[in-house]
Amino acid sequence: MISGTFLLAVVPLMAAALTYALRRFATLAVAVAVTLILALGLFIWIAPPDLTVTLAGRSLLMGQDVTWSGMSFRFTEALRPFLSFLYLITVIALIFAWRISQGRTFFAAALIVTSLASLILMVRPLTLAPLGLAFIACIAVFIVQSGRGGSTRGAFRQLWLPLAAFPFFLTAGWLLEQIPLNPDNPAPFNLAVTLLGWGLVLLLAPTPLHGPRVTLASEAPPLVAAFLQLISEAVILYLVRAFTADFLAIINDFNLARFLIYGGLFSMAWGGIAAVGQRDFAPLWSYAGLVNYGNLLLAMGLGLLSSWSLVLLLFGARTILILLGAMSLASLRQQAAATDFARVAGLANRLPWTVAGLLAGGLGLIGFPATAGFASQWTLLQQVAVRDARWIAVMVPAALLVAIGYLRGLAVLGGATANSQVRREPVVAGWLIALAVLASALLGLAPQLLTGPVSAALAALATLVGR
C-alpha cells in the first residue's frame, strides 16, 4: 500500500527530475511540472485521508503513517491549506520563470524545495522539522547563485541562520526525551524551552539578524528570492504556532512575544532608514520587505496569546505583494539589464506594467491605499494604538521613508530616457504582472476576499497544534 506521505514527497521530486532532463526545452519542462503539481494539489482535496483509494492500480492511503529512523510522517486534512499554498507559490514561480529565466536549475530546485517543505509540515517529532529548513537552505545555494560569477554573499549568507538554528532544536528534542527518566527534575524541560525559544528567534531573524534576508533579496534573481522567502516564512510561521501551542512555556517563561515585538519594531526602523537612501530598486525592494516583515513580527508578538487572524491576513497580503515586486523586478532586470536608478531612467513609457508592478508591490508592503497591504496594515495600526501607541512612532515614519525611496525611483523612471534600446516587456510576463497588480488593487478594495483562506488556515492550525 502506498502512503500519502510517499506521494507528496515523490511527485515533486519526479517533476524535478523531468524538468531537469528537459531543461533545454523550457516550455515542455514547465508544462510537465505545472501539470503534476496542479494534479497533486487537486488530489489532496479529493482523496480522504482515512479511506483507501486506488491510484494507477495500487492501493493508496493518504493518512498512513510512515516511520523512518525515529521520524514519523503523516498527511492529515488539516495540512491541505498549507500544502495548497506551497503548490500555488510553486506554480506561479514556474510559470513566470518560463518567460523570464531565473536560472536553468530553478525549475528542478524549486520542486525539490517544495517536496522538502511538504515533509517539514508532516514530520514528528516537531523538533526535527528545522532540519528540513537547513536542507532547503543548502539546495537554495544553487538557485541563488544561478551559475553567476562574482559575489556569493546572497547564496551563502542565507545558509547561516537555518544551519545555526537546527542544533538548538535537536538538543531540545534530546532533553525532552530525558524527562521521563527523571520527571521530578525540571532542569531538562526549562533548558529545552530556552533552546526552542532561541531557535525560533534565529529562524525568524529579526533585526539585527536581518542581514541574510536583505542580501538574498538584493543579490539573488528576484523570483528566486521571493520563492525562497515565502516558502521558508510559511514553514516558520507554522513552526512558531506549533511550538508555542505544544510548549506554552515558550510564551510564558521565555517570553517569545517580547522578542517578536521589539524585533519587529527594530526591523521596521532599520528598513525605513536604509530604504530612503537607496538608488537601486533591488535593495529598495528588499528593505521595503524588511519593513513589512517587521509588521508581521509585531502582529505575531501581539497574537501569540490570542488569535492569529491578523498574522495570516498580513502574510496573505505579503505573499501577493512580494510576488508582484519580484516579477516586476525580474522584468526590469531582463529588459534593462540593470535595476539601479541611473540605468533605468525614463523607462516608464516602455515598461508600463513593470513600473506599475514595482510601485504597487513596493508601496503595498507599507500599506499604501488601494493595494493588498492596506487593510491588514490599518488593522495592525488600530491594534497597536490600543496596546501601546508609542510604537506607531516607529511604524509610520518607517513606512514614510520607504515611500520616499519609491517616489524618488518613480521620478527617475518618469524622467529622461537613459537607454532608448530597451525593448518592451514580454507579452506573457507583462500580463502576469498586470494580473498581479489588479489582484492587489482588488484586495485593497475588497479585503474580505481573504477571509475564506484565512479562516481555513486558522481552523487548520487549531487542529494541527498540540498533537
Is a pLDDT exceeding 50 seen at residue 460? yes
Q: What is the pLDDT of residues 304-334, one digit of tens each?
A: 867 788 999 999 999 999 999 999 999 988 8
> How far apart are alpha carbons 289 and 364 in whole angstroms?
10
Region 37-53 average pLDDT: 85
Residue 467: pLDDT band with limits 50, 70, 90: very low
SS3 340: strand
The C-alpha torsion from 45 through 50 and 52 to 56, rounded to 10°, is: 30
Q: What is the pLDDT of residue 418?
A: 63
Q: What is the pLDDT of residue 167?
A: 94
Of all residues in the chain, the percent with pLDDT exceeding 70 is: 96
> How far apart are alpha carbons 334 and 336 in whole angstroms?
6
Q: What is the pLDDT of residues 431-452, one digit of tens each?
A: 889 999 999 999 988 888 888 8
Is a pLDDT exceeding 70 seen at residue 149? no
Closest CA to 44 of 66, 75, 86, 72: 75
Estimate the crossing angle of helix 281-303 against helix 352-364, to 10 degrees: 30
Which strand ranges, in their side-by-side order, compose the sheet holding 53-55? 2-3, 58-61, 53-55
Q: What is the pLDDT of residue 430?
A: 86
- Mean pLDDT of all residues in the chain? 88
Q: What is the pLDDT of residue 415?
A: 76
Region 377-383 average pLDDT: 92
Is a pLDDT exceeding 70 seen at residue 1? no
CA R_g for the chain:
22
Q: What is the pLDDT of residue 345?
A: 84
List the Cα angle 11/226/251 in 5-degree steps: 90
Grid cell 542581514 in the structure block, residue = 211
Region 283-308 average pLDDT: 90
Q: What is the pLDDT of residues 128-140, one digit of tens each?
A: 999 999 999 999 8
Of all residues in the chain, the percent with pLDDT exceeding 90 is: 51
**Which CA distances in Å does 418 have to 176, 197, 324?**
62, 50, 25
CB 73 within 8 A of CB 14: no
Region 362-377 average pLDDT: 92
Region 187-214 average pLDDT: 91
Q: What is the pLDDT of residue 299?
A: 93
Between 99 and 163, residue with greater pLDDT: 163
Between 288 and 252, residue with greater pLDDT: 288
Is a pLDDT exceeding 50 seen at residue 17? yes
Region 164-168 average pLDDT: 93
